[in-house]
Structure 1
Amino acid sequence: MSELNILYFASLREALGCSGERLALPDGVRTVGALREHLAARGEGWAALGAGRNVRAALDQRMVGPDAPLAGGEEVAFFPPVTGG
């Protein structure tokens, strides 16, 4: 079974109450965008990952869009946009 290592940063970590998890690649989830939808469907704080929320994603430490493919074994990180000054 292929697993993903998922990391949550900054305000997402606070909203979800965890900094990460290992998750078996769900059936039918083949892209980063589909993974985000799958996680958001958990409800409550997970809505922070939902559609319309400004969330960025990295796959194996490289910025990616929602169409980036998943095969299992990857590290996926979700985080809000970072601002600084």
Structure 2
Amino acid sequence: MRGFQVSQMVFVAAKLRLADRVGDSGRTVSDLAADSGARPEMLLRLCRALAAFGIFAVDDAGMVSQTQKSACLRSDASPTLHYAA
């Protein structure tokens, strides 16, 4: 039931290039929203939902960081799943 929702969330994350923007050290949702043109409150909801499935990690302060799953979505990963998403 959730498969479609998760695939759509991963699609949006790839479209916004979140994994590339998060980088290796992590970034705040506010910074990511400013860079991607997304609304911060909606981006936080997306990142928290993805974190529930192990794609990104989000702390209470709104800092987003990579996980093994989100690292695959980076366009410079080898192999990358960015374009498949």
Short-chain TM bin: 0.3 to 0.5
Give 1 or 2: higher strand fraction.
1
Name the larger-Rg structure: 1
TM (normalized to structure 2)?
Answer: 0.35
Give 1 or 2: higher helix fraction.
2
